[in-house]
Amino acid sequence: MAREKSRSAQTTAPPIRPPKLTLAPAPLWHRAAEWMLRCLAVSAVVAIVLILVFIAKEAAPIFYSAAVRAEVTLSKMWVPQLWPGYDESASIWQPVSDIPKFGIWPLIVGTVKVTVVAMVVAVPLGVGAALYVSQYARPGVREILKPIVELLAGIPSVVLGFFALMVMATWFQDLFHLESRLNALVSGVALSFAVIPVIFTLAEEALRAVPRSYVEASTALGAARWQTTLRVVLPAASPGIAAGVALGLGRAVGETMIVLMASGNAAIVSANLADSARTIAATIAAELAEVVFGGSHYTVLFFLGTLLFLTTFCINTIGDWAIRRMKIRLGGMA
């Protein structure tokens, strides 16, 4: 920075040459330390590569190990099989039985069910709360409200899971007369508490970053407040809101403890929200402690982990892209 400034000074002042400014010569160890900084800075990249490599490595035997492939292959996981004792082919998750069954569809259905419930609750509440805090609350009130909502993000997921298991499950059962206490509905609603702060924070930031001039222009054209909010402010903030929804979705798909504790964990294919559900993340958490290292069950669980990693990686990349787009859009137009 300083060097650039001195250079431009030289070019614009021809008659008297100012003394040439240089930075103080750096001792060798400074450069060594800077090199160290650079090496440490790559650690995040190294970490994400190592994560992928090491979970994929443990999942890889599913493609080549004869011992593993005798019990489970990709097609056995994805295509419903005709198991002995069943009348028609079905996708069944029963990894610990005489004939281990690794049908993945019950887990996918469970994950989708719980995630959909969580998003249906979290998106309106998160965006709505962000709208109120950014558009209607007075600045002083906003400075108090924002940290309070964000306290929700500070609740450990195991505490939310505990609350869902001990308290919410009973309330929901009494309220909706449900057959099973732990089900997709309870765990989805509990999960939404973890998703709301993610959506709220990003949506509020995006809504508040909408330039005042937009609102003033809209008002000057005769638009009412609700019209300005709906047709000017919300569309301008939409990339940020979309980013919040995407990151919230990533969180919902990957969240483990809440679902593990509150969903009942029955691996069944059912669209009914009142039925118990088993998600991919919860399956890994519940089963990995009891498997034989390197066995087929172990391999399948790491395969599920790889699947989860790749899914959330894609969702988060989209969210990250939306955030950068929002910054460019608002930065460029303001």
Partner 1 sequence: MTAAAATAGKSALAQLAVRRTRRNLVADGAMAVASGAALLLVLASLGVILFDIVRNGTPHLSWAFITEAPRDGMTAGGIFPAIIGMLEMVILMTLAGVPVGVATAIYLHEYSSPTSRLTRTIRIAVANLAGVPSIVFGLFGLGFFVQFLGAGIDKAFFHGEKVYGQPALIWAALTMAVLTLPVVIVATEEALRAVPQELREASLALGATKFQTVMHVVVPQAAPGILTGTILAVSRGAGEVAPILFTGAAYFLPQLPKHLSSQFMSPSYHVYVLSTQSPDVDATKPILYATVLVLLGLTFTLNMAAVIVRARMRRQHAGVA
* Pick 83 or 321: Cβ nearer partner 1: 321
Give least dist CB 33 to partner 1, A: 6
Give least dist CB 83 to partner 1, A: 28
Q: Rounded to 5, what percent of the chain is helix, strand, coil? A: 75, 0, 25
3-state DSSP call for residue 277? strand
Give least dist CB 71 to partner 1, A: 20
Instruction: Name residues whose C-beta falls within 8 Å of residue 266's C-beta, 6 or more positions apart in sequence.
Output: 180, 275, 276, 277, 278
Give least dist CB 322 to partner 1, A: 11
* Pick 67 or 158: Cβ nearer partner 1: 158
* Pick 109 or 189: Cβ nearer partner 1: 189
* Pick 15 or 222: Cβ nearer partner 1: 222
* Pick 105 or 321: Cβ nearer partner 1: 321
* Main-chain dihedrals φ then ψ at residue 159, nearest 5 degrees: -70, -40
* Pick 77 or 233: Cβ nearer partner 1: 233
* Pick 184 or 258: Cβ nearer partner 1: 258
Instruction: Return d(Cα 140, Cα 2) in angstroms, integer.
Output: 40
Measured CA to CA in angstroms, residue 332 lies from 27, 64, 202, 314 at distances of 41, 52, 19, 27
Tokens of residue 329, six digits: 């859009």
Give least dist CB 80 to partner 1, A: 26
Instruction: Name residues whose C-beta falls within 8 Å of residue 130's C-beta, 6 or more positions apart in sequence.
Output: 199, 200, 203, 204, 207, 241
CB 106 within 8 A of CB 92: yes
**CA atoms within a 13 Å half-sphere pointing along the CA-CB vector of 150:** 12
CB 255 within 8 A of CB 157: yes
Instruction: Return d(Cα 53, Cα 51) in angstroms, integer.
Output: 6
Give least dist CB 85 to partner 1, A: 30
Give least dist CB 103 to partner 1, A: 21
Instruction: Return d(Cα 320, Cα 295) in angstroms, integer.
Output: 37
Give least dist CB 134 to partner 1, A: 9
Q: What is the DSSP letter of 209?
A: T
* Pick 63 or 86: Cβ nearer partner 1: 63
Measured CA to CA in angstroms, residue 4 lies from 1, 19, 157 at distances of 5, 14, 50
